[in-house]
Amino acid sequence: MKIKFQKFQGTGNDFVIIKNKDLLFPSNNNKLIEKLCDRKHGIGCDGLILINPSQSSDFEMIYYNSNGFLGSMCGNGARCSVKFAQIHNLINNNTSFEAYDGNHEASIENNIISLSMKPVNNIKIFNDGLFLDTGSPHYIKVVNNIENLDVYNEGKLIRNSKEYKEKGVNVNFVKIYSKDEFQVRTYERGVENETLSCGTGVTAVALAMFHSGRTDSKKINIKTKGGELTVKFDTSELGYNNIKLIGKVEMIFSGEIEV
C-alpha cells in the first residue's frame, strides 16, 4: 500500500498529514502510525494527522500522537491542517472544521493561521502551578532558569505523578519576560518528550498567566524553541472565550511511502 502525505511544521511542531478522502487509511493500525512518526524508521514527526471528509463542516481532523494512539486536540497540528486543506482546495481563506474537542474556525493570511480555541471556564491554582484544559490537559509552572532546565526529567516527573499518571498531562515551564511576553518549554504526553512547540500549551500558558495576575494583557506573545506564537482572548463572568492561537506554518515536503 502506497500512502501519499505532506509534512508540515508550525513553530517546530512537525506533522505528517494525509488526505483520507476515501477513508482507506488503516487508522486502527497503531504500529503503522508509530512507524510513520518514527524519525529513524519512518518519515519522522511529532504526530500524524488524517484529514477526513465531514458531513457538517469543511473537513474532520483526526490527530494521532507519535506513539501511534489517538490524541486529543493539537493546536499547531490544527493550524497546519488548515493550510493543508487550503493547498488541497478543500477551503479558501476561512474554514470551520471538526476536531477532537468539537468545531473550530480558522482564517488564513498567507502562511499565518488564526485558529479559534474552545472556551476555558475552569482553571485550578496550586502552590507550585496551575492546571487547565485547552482541548488537551496542561500543567503550568513558572521557572527562572528555563534555558538550563531539564525539561525531559522534570516534565516526566509531573506527567507520571499520582494525580496525572492515568490520563496524562502536558507540562509547560514558563519564564516571564514582560507583562505580554513569555517563554515556554513543553513536555508533551504521547510524544513523551520535549517538543519545540505546543499550541494548546501556549494557549494554556497565556490564560494561566492572566488568571494568576502575572499579566493584564489579553494579547500575549509567547516564545517557544521552534518560534513565536500569539494568543488573543476575551474574558467574561464564566471564564475565557474568543480565544485565538495565531502563528506561521510551513509545508516542508511532499512524499509517498510504501507500507
Site of grid cell 517546530: 12
Q: Collapsing DSSP states into helix, strand and coil, what is residue 70?
A: strand
Cell of 147: 534555558
Q: Is 45 in the active site?
A: no
| Residues in a beta bridge with 5 | 255
Site of grid cell 494583557: 217
β-strand 130-133 against 123-125: which pairing, if any? antiparallel
Which residue in 37, 45, 74, 80 is the catalytic one?
Answer: 74
Give the Cα separation of 31 and 83 in Å (integer): 27
Cell of 180: 505580554
232-240 — which CB contacts under 8 Å span 24+ positions? Answer: 233/206, 233/207, 235/210, 238/119, 238/121, 239/119, 239/120, 239/121, 239/122, 239/123, 240/119, 240/120, 240/121, 240/207, 240/210
Amino acid at residue number 192: E
Q: Is 80 in the active site?
A: no
Cell of 155: 516534565
User: Which residue from 160, 162, 104, 163 is spatially nearest to 131, judged by alpha carbons?
Assistant: 163
Residues with a catalytic annotation lie at 74, 198
